[in-house]
Amino acid sequence: MEKHCNIEIAAQISRASSTQNSGDKDYFHIEGLMESPAVDDDGDCFSPLLLNATSINVEVYYNKAVNYTLMVTFVSFLQVLLLIRQMEHSNTQSGAAKVSIVMIGQQAIMDSYLCLLHLTAGILVESLFNAFATAAFFKFVVFSIFEMRYLLAIWKATRPSNSGEGWETMRRELSFLYSRFYGILLGGILIMYELHNYMRWILLVMYSFWIPQIVANVVRDSRKPLHPYYILGMTVTRLAIPLYVFGCPKNFMRVETSKAWCIGLCAFIGFQAAVLLLQHYFGSRCFVPRKMLPEKYNYYRRLDHDVNRSRDCVICMATIDLRRRTNDCMVTPCEHLFHSGCLQRWTDIKMECPTCRRTLPPA
């Protein structure tokens, strides 16, 4: 049975008080009466109408989005400079081997997610495509050119023995490296899609990217693998986007902010950076009790030979006087002597004995 009802609405729109209005939103109050004429003799049907409405200032909204993309572009540019500085700091085989490949890979995955996120936002909002595409392009440059190149350099430094095994072996292991990276990338997207209600906890896990380097420093007893500027710069720039999204009350994404979560994130990643700086200046195992440390080779041990005899350091070609204090010379496990400064500078380049090419333990 078909029915046609006519509804008439008479209402008055009034703007809310100015204290409730923000830059990109206006709040309105609608109050009136809704009337439906009767189809029989029962009389007309009346109903009061009370609504609260919100209008969005599109121009202010777009300006906020553009300012956000400019911030992301500037942060990406700073990250490129920091990566270049770090790559120069560890441009030798020994220096690159000290850097955790998991740490760089985790940062590369984070940047690839941000690249996809900004590119998707630009496609969905056509009027902001240029702004979001620029931010996505800079993130693409960060992870695809610099971080992937650094990832490859670390991988090659940790496998020097495979350099002479032929191209087929190198290509097979390289394919395995890239397949693991993109597999983790795709798996992370699926996990975030299924657990999108727990996104803040997932972000905390993703922002634990300094922990693999801390663990690697303790296990390998690495000496100054990361530049302090890289540690501080990456810590600050990585915090820019999550603090804007979850800490700025007037962000254009209209995400519910949480001051406690932002403080927790800053404290969490700041603690990681502080531990790395302690390892840089006071030693990689400075906070580990001595009873828990494994036995370490002593380069300043005494020789069983005649101390009155002098030898030559093959690095600087100068004579080593064994009659002086023992801190002036270092002895390798293969019984070769060198000046302390000469061998320390050499191990920053290669962890091999300059005389017999035997692998050296951490100094």
In order along its 363 residues, the chain shows pLDDT tens digits of 566 677 788 888 887 765 545 566 777 888 888 887 665 556 667 788 888 887 777 788 888 889 999 999 999 999 999 999 999 998 888 888 889 999 999 999 999 999 999 999 999 888 889 999 999 999 999 998 999 899 988 988 887 654 455 667 767 777 887 888 888 888 888 888 888 888 888 999 999 999 999 999 988 888 889 999 999 999 999 999 999 999 888 788 777 888 999 999 999 999 999 999 999 998 888 887 777 766 777 888 776 555 455 578 888 888 877 766 567 788 888 888 888 888 888 887 777 888 888 888 876
Kindly state whether residues 180 and 272 are assigned to the same domain: yes
Task: Tell whether 15 and 106 lie within a shared domain.
Answer: no
Order of strands, sheet of 45-56, starting from the edge strand that comes earlier in the sequence = 8-15, 25-36, 45-56
Domain co-membership, 62 together with 48: no
> Are 84 and 179 in the same domain?
yes
Same domain, 142 and 274: yes
Check whether residue 51 and residue 63 sit in a common domain. no
Same domain, yes or no: 161 and 234: yes
In this structure, are 47 and 66 located in the same domain?
no
Residue 2 included in any domain: no
CA distance 145 to 138: 10
Asked, for residue 95, whether it belongs to a domain, the answer is yes
Domain extent, residue 23, equals 8-55
The closest of 116, 172, 175, 109 to 143, measured between CA atoms, is 109
Domain identity same for 122 and 14: no
Q: Is residue 1 a part of any domain in this protein?
A: no
Cα dist from 338 to 105, 312, 349, whole Å: 37, 8, 15
**Helix (H, G, I), strand (E, B), or coil: what is residue 362?**
coil
For residues 270 and 344, membership in a common domain is answered with: no
Whether residues 94 and 232 fall in one domain: yes
Q: Is the dihedral of CA 187, 189, 194, 197 positive or negative?
A: positive
Q: Is residue 287 part of a domain?
A: no
Last residue of a domain, one of 282, 304, 333: 282
* Amino acid at residue number 199: M
- What residues form DSSP beta bridges with 55? 26
Total count of residues recorded for the chain: 363
Q: How many domains does the chain have?
A: 3
DSSP 323: T
Among 259, 267, 230, residue whose Cα is nearest residue 243:
259
Last residue of a domain, one of 249, 282, 315: 282
Residue 159 lies in a domain: yes
The answer to whether 202 and 195 are in contact (CB under 8 A) is yes
Beta bridge partners of 12: 31
CA angle 286, 348, 319 (to 5 degrees): 105
Token digits of residue 129: 């495509």
**Measured distance CA(359)–CA(351) in Å, rounded:** 6
Is 288 inside any structural domain? no
Token pair of 212, please?
Answer: 């693999």
DSSP letters for 135-186: HHHHHHHIIIIIIHHHHHHHHHHH-GGGGGS-HHHHHHHHHHHHHHHHHHHH
Q: Is the residue at 291 inside a domain?
A: no
- Residues 252 and 128 occupy one common structural domain: yes
